[in-house]
């Protein structure tokens, strides 16, 4: 038999599998699965050990387990939310199954006397140990259910595709996999384990697999694949970087006079760290290649000033600067700051946002294309098609983690005429751990502002259960009657601005009643820009004492007299986001406090996360912790956009591979450039297009 005749799995359409018609193919496409190779590389994100039953009496909170027993009682209870609760007993203990969503037939079947086996996570709840929405099946004492004899893979799934459907398709595919149709691409010194073998093993780990290693992602087969996956990412980033660095940008030499005039107009002196970063940028933009620099600085470290110095250097050379902020509130704050700083120097500051009046917008667009606007501050409205610049020399993006790479690229593309590309400065308060930064941002140079302006007092953080809400309100009352100001932040699980606004409104009314005599204000994403401006101005002026807000105030907002921050249901937010919110206080010289007002029950995991907030004020430490607990997609805020999502690699865990990966990437680029495409295609597939410039 000729091996050459076998087509690679990359060339066989997914519909070649039995049972995959047009409809299923469409659903698979949403998971980026188009070919048999794509399916084969759709790897389990984790495994469940369902090979043994755990006695209820031995269960620990936080443990994922299989349990089984008899339902002793079953009832619909009306607490804060209606739920179906079933007491399950197995001779060693009892546990409550809790369902917030349930059908009539579920309720009719989950009745006393039925035998049930459940799979899920045990949590400490109000009735002792509980499992929320476990997977379950019924059995009777004669016909015991069989336990699986290998680990159960859990795949990333999308709408309309179940785990068992995917498991079925993969079982159908695996017998066809061999060394010929899944060729090795790595130089041989890196591939001691065959790819086909590793893939087979990881989709269906055998009975005697080293469970602990697999669960931790440290099995040699996983490491073999993680290496190749990280290599694919590295190659792809190198390609982007090369492309950018081979293009031109305007040289923007430093004009010392304008810098000095600006800095001497300020009421404070830049910190040493600010000076250093200003110099790094100044040096970069004086070169004819596009700068790609990420400035990291914890909340309150003074990134705005650094941005201003860079902007001024570009403007002094006759170029325009675009400054993009993620929210309207922040864009407005920047506009005020920059106007205040720049207008005395004769610089025109324009602004563009999504909600301005048509006539204002028209004026601003005209002033931007004519070059009259020298600095243009705005939200994502800046990169809409109709926005044209006369001579864009520098793009500054504040709070980068809120923007996807696409948006970043769109703005960069705006400057692409005549002189080449604009320089780009990205500022983020989300400190990105080193290992992650190296891999995720291979296309950026990094500057760190590692010093806070003098006179800041650290924020102390407390965890308080919602049961003690009244005490917290009393505390707000006494703080505000002493002249201090407070933020009260409402969070919601649903990604709906309308619902979130509603919840904040209810809270504001409630607080206003309890805090009679103190002015309570309200700000959320549904207000008009002019209304937001008014509320913020009143809060800044101290006319509003307590500002009830949704997470719209998360980034950038600066009101030094506010020294108390209450965050409701902090368990719903990521650590980086909490750190951002907390960064709104601790800006003045009075001692500041942050209260995390959590809802019960809090999972073990939730408690671990919130404790990290109490233990440190250091954004870098918090980011490290976030990375450990949630993975890089969440930390970088890129989960939704699909970039930097790994199938099985984990930058934190696999940091030890990074050096070898970089060496290998260099060797492949030099000796086997023909392998670059197939490696990237295999691991990044469609996703790589996002990284194109
Ligand atoms: P962030 O890094 O979070 O964007 P900002 O640029 O908003 O921080 O700065 C936070 C506050 O610190 C602002 O009120 C700003 O005016 C002030 N600030 C910035 N640099 C200094 C400095 N060198 N000395 C004193 N205050 C400063
Ligand atoms: Mg800022």
3-state secondary structure 191-216: CCCCHHHHHHHHHCCCCCCCHHHHHH
Among 500, 478, 479, CA closest to 491: 500
Q: What is the pLDDT of residues 548-559, one digit of tens each?
A: 998 777 666 778
Residue 634 has pLDDT above 80, yes or no: no
Mean local confidence (pLDDT), 84-112:
92
Ligand 1 site, residue 619, Cβ cutoff 6 A: no
Q: Which ligand 1 atom lies nearest to the CA of residue 299?
A: 3
338 CA to centre of ligand 2 in angstroms: 13
Mean local confidence (pLDDT), 668-675:
91
**Nearest protein CA to atom 27 of ligand 1, as residue:** 453
Residue 428 has pLDDT above 50, yes or no: yes
Question: Buried b / exposed e across 292-320, counting CB within 10 Å, b at 16+?
Answer: bbbbbbbbbbbbbbbbbbbbbbbbbbebb
Q: Strands 592-598 and 459-465, how do they pair?
A: parallel
Q: In Å, how far are 8, 33, 182, 384, 450 from 38, measured between CA atoms?
A: 12, 5, 11, 34, 43
351 CA to centre of ligand 1 in angstroms: 22
> Range(s) for CATH 2.40.50.140 in the chain?
52-147
Ligand 1 site, residue 432, Cβ cutoff 6 A: no
Ligand 1 site, residue 431, Cβ cutoff 6 A: no
CA–CA gap between residue 32 and residue 190 (Å, rounded)? 27
Tokens of 337: 């700051």
In percent, the amount of the chain with pLDDT more than 70 equals 87
- Specify the 3-state DSSP secondary structure of 461: strand
Q: In Å, how far are 393, 514, 602, 606 from 122, measured between CA atoms?
A: 56, 38, 12, 14
Looking at residue 223, its pLDDT comes to 92
pTM of the shown model: 0.65
**Nearest protein CA to atom 10 of ligand 1, as residue:** 300
Looking at residue 434, its pLDDT comes to 56
DSSP bridge partners of 76: 84
Secondary structure in 3-state letters for 346-399: CCCEEEECCCCCHHHHHHHHHHHHHCCCCEEEECHHHHCCCCCCCCEEEEEEEC
CA–CA gap between residue 26 and residue 32 (Å, rounded)? 10
- Specify the 3-state DSSP secondary structure of 677: helix
300 CA to centre of ligand 1 in angstroms: 5
Ligand 1 site, residue 306, Cβ cutoff 6 A: no
Ligand 1 site, residue 214, Cβ cutoff 6 A: no
The answer to which of 86-90, 483-487, 603-607 has the lowest mean pLDDT is 603-607
Mutate to test the pocket of ligand 1, among 300, 396, 557, 580 (most ligand atoms within 8 A of CB): 300
279 CA to centre of ligand 1 in angstroms: 18
Mutate to test the pocket of ligand 1, among 302, 325, 582 (most ligand atoms within 8 A of CB): 302
Ligand 1 site, residue 609, Cβ cutoff 6 A: no
Ligand 1 site, residue 649, Cβ cutoff 6 A: no
pLDDT band, very low/low/confident/very high, at 419 (cuts 50, 70, 90): low
Residue 690 has pLDDT above 50, yes or no: no
Ligand 1 site, residue 558, Cβ cutoff 6 A: yes
Q: In Å, how far are 117, 635, 638, 650, 680 from 645, measured between CA atoms?
A: 34, 11, 8, 9, 14
263 CA to centre of ligand 1 in angstroms: 13
Helices 604-615 + 619-630 axis angle, to 10: 170
Residue 36 has pLDDT above 50, yes or no: yes
User: Residue with structure tokens 């404070």?
Assistant: 268
Residue 414 has pLDDT above 70, yes or no: no
Residues whose CB falls within 8 Å of the CB of residue 461, separated by 6 or more in sequence, listed in order: 582, 593, 594, 595, 596, 613, 614, 617
DSSP bridge partners of 82: 78
Residue 641 has pLDDT above 50, yes or no: no
The answer to which of 209-223, 556-570, 678-692 has the lowest mean pLDDT is 678-692
Helices 220-245 + 658-671 axis angle, to 10: 60
Ligand 1 site, residue 589, Cβ cutoff 6 A: no
Mutate to test the pocket of ligand 1, among 306, 337, 453 (most ligand atoms within 8 A of CB): 453
Residues whose CB falls within 8 Å of the CB of residue 36, separated by 6 or more in sequence, listed in order: 9, 10, 12, 13, 14, 16, 17, 173, 176
Ligand 1 site, residue 300, Cβ cutoff 6 A: yes
Domain spanning 459-635, CATH class: alpha beta
Among 22, 53, 34, CA closest to 145: 53
CB 547 within 8 A of CB 489: no
**CATH T-level fold of 257-449:** Rossmann fold (3.40.50)
The answer to which of 43-47, 135-139, 296-300, 400-404 has the lowest mean pLDDT is 400-404
Q: Where are the alpha helices (DSSP H) in 566-657?
A: 575-582, 604-615, 619-630, 632-635
Of residues 472 and 643, which shows the higher confidence score? Answer: 472
299 CA to centre of ligand 2 in angstroms: 7
Ligand nearest to the CA of 301: 1
304 CA to centre of ligand 1 in angstroms: 7
In percent, the amount of the chain with pLDDT more than 90 equals 39
> Range(s) for CATH 3.40.50.300 in the chain?
257-449, 459-635
Q: Which ligand 1 atom lies nearest to the CA of residue 337?
A: 16
Ligand 1 site, residue 271, Cβ cutoff 6 A: yes
Per CATH, the number for 52-147 is 2.40.50.140
**Nearest protein CA to atom 19 of ligand 1, as residue:** 302
């Amino acid at each position: 038999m000729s091996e050459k005749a076998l087509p690679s799995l990359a060339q066989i359409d997914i519909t070649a599998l039995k049972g995959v018609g047009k409809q299923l193919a469409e659903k698979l496409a949403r998971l980026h699965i188009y070919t048999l190779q794509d399916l084969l590389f759709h790897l389990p994100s984790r495994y469940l050990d369902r090979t043994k039953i755990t006695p209820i009496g031995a269960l620990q909170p936080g443990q994922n387990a299989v349990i089984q027993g008899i339902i002793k009682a079953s009832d619909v209870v009306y607490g804060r939310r209606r739920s179906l609760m079933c007491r399950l007993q197995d001779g060693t203990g009892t546990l409550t199954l809790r369902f917030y969503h349930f059908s009539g037939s579920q309720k009719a079947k989950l009745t006393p006397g039925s035998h049930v086996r459940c799979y899920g996570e045990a949590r400490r709840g109000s009735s002792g140990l509980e499992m929320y929405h476990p997977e379950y099946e019924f059995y009777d004492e004669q016909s015991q259910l069989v336990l699986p004899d290998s680990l159960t893979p859990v795949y990333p799934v999308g709408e309309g595709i179940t785990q068992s459907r995917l498991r079925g398709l993969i079982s159908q595919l695996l017998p066809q996999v061999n060394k010929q149709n899944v060729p090795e691409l790595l130089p041989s010194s890196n591939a001691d384990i065959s790819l086909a073998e590793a893939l087979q093993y990881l989709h269906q780990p055998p009975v005697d697999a080293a469970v602990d290693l697999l669960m931790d992602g440290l099995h040699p087969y996983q490491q073999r694949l993680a290496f190749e996956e990280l290599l694919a990412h590295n190659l792809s980033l190198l390609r982007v970087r090369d492309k950018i660095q081979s293009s031109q940008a305007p040289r923007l030499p430093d004009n010392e006079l304008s810098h000095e005039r600006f800095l001497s107009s300020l009421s404070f002196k830049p910190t040493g760290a600010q000076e250093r970063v200003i110099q790094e940028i100044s040096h970069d933009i004086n070169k004819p290649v596009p700068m790609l620099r990420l400035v990291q600085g914890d909340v309150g470290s003074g990134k705005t000033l650094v941005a201003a110095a860079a902007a001024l250097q570009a403007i002094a050379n006759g170029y325009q600067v675009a400054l993009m902020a993620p929210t309207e509130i922040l864009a407005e704050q920047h506009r005020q700051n920059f106007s205040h700083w720049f207008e005395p120097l004769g610089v025109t500051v324009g602004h563009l946002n999504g909600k301005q009046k048509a006539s204002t917008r028209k004026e601003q667009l005209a002033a931007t294309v004519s070059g009259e606007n020298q600095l243009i501050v705005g939200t994502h409205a800046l990169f809409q098609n109709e926005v044209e610049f006369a001579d864009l020399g520098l793009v500054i993006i504040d709070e980068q983690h809120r923007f996807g790479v696409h948006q970043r690229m769109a703005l960069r593309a705006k400057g692409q005429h005549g002189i080449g590309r604009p320089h780009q400065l990205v500022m983020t308060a989300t400190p990105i751990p080193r290992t992650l930064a190296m891999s995720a941002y291979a296309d950026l140079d990094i500057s760190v502002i590692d010093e806070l302006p003098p006179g800041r007092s650290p924020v102390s953080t407390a965890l308080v259960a919602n049961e003690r809400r009244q005490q917290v309100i009393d505390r707000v009352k006494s703080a505000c009657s002493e002249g201090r100001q407070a933020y009260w932040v409402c969070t919601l699980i649903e990604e709906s601005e309308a619902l979130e606004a509603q919840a904040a409104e209810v809270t504001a009314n409630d607080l206003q009643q309890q805090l009679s005599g103190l002015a309570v204000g309200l700000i959320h994403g549904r207000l008009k820009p002019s209304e937001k401006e008014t509320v913020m101005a009143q809060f800044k002026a101290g006319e509003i004492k307590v500002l009830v807000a949704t997470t719209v105030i998360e980034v950038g907002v600066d009101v030094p007299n506010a020294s108390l921050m209450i965050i409701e249901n902090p368990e719903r937010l990521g650590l980086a986001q909490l750190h951002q919110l907390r960064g709104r206080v601790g800006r003045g010289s009075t001692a500041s406090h942050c209260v995390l007002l959590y809802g019960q029950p809090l999972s073990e995991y939730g408690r671990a996360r919130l404790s990290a907030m109490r233990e440190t004020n250091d954004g870098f430490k918090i980011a490290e912790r976030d990375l450990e607990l949630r993975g890089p997609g969440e930390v970088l805020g890129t989960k939704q956009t699909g970039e930097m999502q790994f199938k099985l690699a984990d930058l934190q865990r696999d940091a030890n591979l990074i050096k070898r990966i970089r060496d290998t990437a260099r060797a492949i680029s030099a000796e086997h450039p023909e392998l670059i495409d197939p490696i990237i295609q295999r691991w990044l597939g469609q996703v790589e297009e996002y990284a194109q410039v």
